[in-house]
Each structure stands twice: as C-alpha cells, then as structure tokens.
C-alpha cells in the first residue's frame, strides 16, 4: 500500500480500526466488558477525522448479531472456548452509544448524508485509480491474495463455527478486492485469523508482558521512529520542498499577490491544496467526491485530456484564472487559445488569465 500512503485522514481510519478490533478481540477473550467503553471516545474522534468510521460500526453490528445467529442456526459454543460471542444486549447498547458518539461533529446527523451520497456514486470506483480493484501486476497484490487464502484455511481449520469471524472475513474480502485502497481491511483480519490459529499459547492461558519488556518495546519503537525520520530526512524544510515539487506553490503565490479574481478552473488533483492555499478563491473541483459526482469527474478528466469539444466547456469558458499542471494536454491547448493569456510558468504549474480580465 506504499503508493497510497499520502498524508490524508484516511490513514487514521486504519489505525483506529485496528484499535477497535483489538479492543473487541480482547473483550471476547477476557470478558472485561469495561474495555468496551473505550469505543465511545474512539468513535467520537474517528467521526471527526474520516467517513470510514462506518466500517467500525459495521464490525460492532456483526458482534451484536453473532449470538442471535448462533441460536438461530443452533451452533453451540463450548463453555471453555476462550473466544466467545459477546452478550447481544450489551453490544446493541454499545453500538447505539457509538452511533450517538459519532454525532459529536460539526455536522451532527448530517454526517450520514455524506455516506448516502458516496453510496449513490458507485461510478467513482471506475474513475479513481486508488478505488479500483487490484490488478495483480505487482508482488504486493499477490501477497494480499496469499494472506486471504491463508486466512480462509485458518478459518476452516477451526472446530467451532463463529459467525462473527466468518462474516467479518467475507466482508473484508469483498471490500478489499473491490478497491485496493481497502486492502488493509482484509490484511488486518487475515493476520488475526492466521496468528490465532497458530498461537503457541495453551488454550485458556494469557500472556502478559513484564514491565521491562514493555519499556524495551517502547524504546525500540522510539529508536526505530527516529532512525526512520533521519533516513527519510523528515523536517520542516524537506516537507516544504516536497510540497513545492508536488503542488502549485509558485502559481498560488502569483494568483494571491496579483489578486486575480475567480472563477478559478483547476485540476482534480490540486483542488484540495488550492482550497487550503487560496481560501478566498473557490476551486472548481476537488477530492470531495460526495459533492462532485462521477459524471462531473469524468467530464473534467476529458477536458483536461484535451478531448474534442474541450473548448466549449462552460466552466472553462467562464473561468478568469486557470491553474494548470504544466504537462497536461489542456495546458498545451490553452497556450494557443486566444481567450487566455499565460502570465506565469515554472517547472510544475502554469497560470492563465482571461484576456477580458
């Protein structure tokens, strides 16, 4: 997943999901129900960071349904089983509490309207490369398949049938093989299934880290973080350099200094940056896919690719300033367009303004 690791709130979803999953598995084994109350602040934080907190709610719903499914299908659970279903009433109450916790955002109940918008836009999965399915052209994609097959074997090896693990694994596989941005989901569940099936700890036993072992782990992680930061030259200066070679820093400075008015026309990839860098100049499109539907994204891609009828695009025709990546086809066409004048150019971006300005 290294090619997708850009600094976005989406990465926190992976972290918070693993924390939630660890809490649930720990409670299933220890029956220490007080740990479940940690989920309330976790979901309040998660909902303020990224919309995929719904994945976490889905896992809670599965945990609440496990015991009723066992009774419906008459699947008995051994009393001595260390990994047992959680009380359904408790899980229903906890799920309801976590849903209420997700309302502690500036959007309140409207946060779920974003989810509905995204569900209605299935066409996005064919437009954005990170949302497409794995192509199995590189070793990491095949490794995900190996993990999935290994987890399937580990799940079938278990003597007791547990709906929670079966449904969770199937859902994770479905989501992950539909979109490569979600491969962390099946990888997390697969690793948990494989490791639990090969654990060397006797049934019913629990392993505790000593204080010295915990301090050693903390120190080792700290050293690893420092070495990683030094190896990757993590600093404010390096960050600014990376931004300047990726985003239109110079172009945005010129537009701000000269006071060019909108409407602004920009590419999808730079919408988020320009929204932050030029807050007084609304972008024409950005990464909020729930606002810009699939048809609009497809049309923008066609215009920036210089397909026929690009010049008649109403938003481009109405634009008074265009910030364009230097290498895109539309940028070369605008150089010859009598409606626009090139006023700035660097190694990354160009700025065109309407001649009627």
Using one digit for the tens of pLDDT, what is the confidence trace for 156-199? Answer: 887 777 889 999 999 999 999 998 889 999 999 999 999 887 65
- Cα separation, 283 vs 267, in Å, equals 9
Chain CA centroid to CA 128, Å:
13
Is residue 80 within a helix (H) or strand (E), and if so which, with residue range? Answer: none
**Residue 185: its pLDDT value, please?**
95
Tokens in use for 78? Answer: 């051994």
Q: Does pLDDT of 205 surpass 70?
A: no
How many of the other CB atoms lie within 10 Å of CB of 262?
16
For the segment 89-108, the average pLDDT, to the nearest whole number, is 94
- Per DSSP, which regions of the chain are E strands? 264-266, 321-325, 340-345, 349-354
Among 44-48, 99-103, 135-139, 289-293, which is the least confidently predicted range? 289-293
**Residue 75: its pLDDT value, please?**
75
**Residue 127: its pLDDT value, please?**
73
For the segment 298-302, the average pLDDT, to the nearest whole number, is 90
Tokens in use for 261? Answer: 């008015």
Confidence at 79, pLDDT banded by 50, 70, 90? low
- End-to-end Cα spacing for the chain: 45
**Residue 357: its pLDDT value, please?**
57
Q: Does pLDDT of 123 surpass 80?
A: no
Q: Does pLDDT of 216 surpass 70?
A: yes
- Cα separation, 171 vs 158, in Å, equals 19
Q: Across the beta sheet with 340-345, what order do the strands follow?
A: 264-266, 321-325, 349-354, 340-345
Record the pTM.
0.79
Confidence at 283, pLDDT banded by 50, 70, 90? very high
Confidence at 34, pLDDT banded by 50, 70, 90? very high
48 exposure class (CB count in 10 Å sphere: 0-12, 13-18, 19+): middle
- Cα separation, 106 vs 45, in Å, equals 12
**Residue 208: its pLDDT value, please?**
76
Average pLDDT score over the chain: 88
Using one digit for the tens of pLDDT, what is the confidence trace for 305-327? Answer: 999 989 999 999 999 999 999 99
183 exposure class (CB count in 10 Å sphere: 0-12, 13-18, 19+): buried
User: Is there a contact between 141 and 134 (Cβ–Cβ < 8 Å)?
Assistant: yes
Confidence at 203, pLDDT banded by 50, 70, 90? very low
Maximum CA extent, the chain: 80
For the segment 254-259, the average pLDDT, to the nearest whole number, is 93
330 exposure class (CB count in 10 Å sphere: 0-12, 13-18, 19+): buried
Q: Does pLDDT of 264 surpass 70?
A: yes
For the segment 33-38, the average pLDDT, to the nearest whole number, is 94
User: Is there a contact between 86 and 60 (Cβ–Cβ < 8 Å)?
Assistant: no
């Amino acid at each position: 997943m290294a090619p997708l690791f850009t600094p976005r709130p989406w990465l926190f979803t992976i972290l918070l999901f693993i924390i939630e999953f660890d809490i649930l598995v720990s409670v299933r084994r220890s029956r220490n129900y007080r740990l479940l109350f940690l989920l309330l602040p976790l979901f309040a934080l998660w909902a303020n960071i990224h919309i995929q907190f719904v994945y976490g709610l889905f896992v809670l719903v599965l945990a609440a349904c496990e015991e009723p499914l066992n009774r419906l299908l008459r699947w008995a659970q051994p009393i001595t089983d260390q990994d047992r279903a959680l009380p359904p009433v408790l899980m229903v109450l906890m799920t309801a509490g976590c849903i209420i916790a997700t309302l502690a955002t500036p959007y309140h109940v409207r946060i779920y309207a974003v989810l509905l918008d995204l569900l209605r836009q299935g066409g996005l999965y064919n437009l954005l490369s990170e949302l497409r399915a794995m192509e199995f052209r590189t070793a990491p994609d095949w490794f995900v398949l190996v993990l999935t097959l290994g987890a399937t074997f580990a799940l079938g090896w278990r003597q007791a049938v547990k709906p929670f693990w079966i449904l969770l694994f199937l859902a994770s596989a479905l989501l992950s093989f539909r979109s490569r941005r979600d491969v962390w989901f099946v990888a997390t569940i697969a690793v948990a299934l494989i490791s639990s099936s090969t654990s060397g700890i006797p049934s019913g036993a629990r392993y505790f880290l000593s204080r010295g072992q915990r301090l050693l782990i903390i120190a080792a992680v700290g050293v690893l973080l420092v070495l990683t930061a030094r190896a990757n030259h993590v600093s404010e200066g390096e960050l600014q350099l990376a931004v300047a070679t990726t985003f239109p820093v110079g172009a945005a400075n010129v537009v701000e200094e000269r006071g060019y008015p909108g409407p602004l026309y920009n590419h999808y990839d730079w919408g988020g940056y320009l929204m932050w860098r030029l807050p007084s100049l609304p972008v024409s499109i950005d990464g909020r896919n729930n606002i810009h539907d699939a048809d609009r994204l497809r049309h923008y891609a066609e215009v920036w690719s210089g397909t026929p009828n690009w010049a008649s695009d109403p938003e481009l025709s109405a634009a008074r300033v265009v910030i364009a990546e230097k290498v895109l086809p539309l940028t070369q066409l605008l150089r010859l367009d009598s409606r626009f004048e090139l006023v700035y150019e660097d190694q990354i971006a160009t700025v065109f303004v309407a001649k009627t300005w």
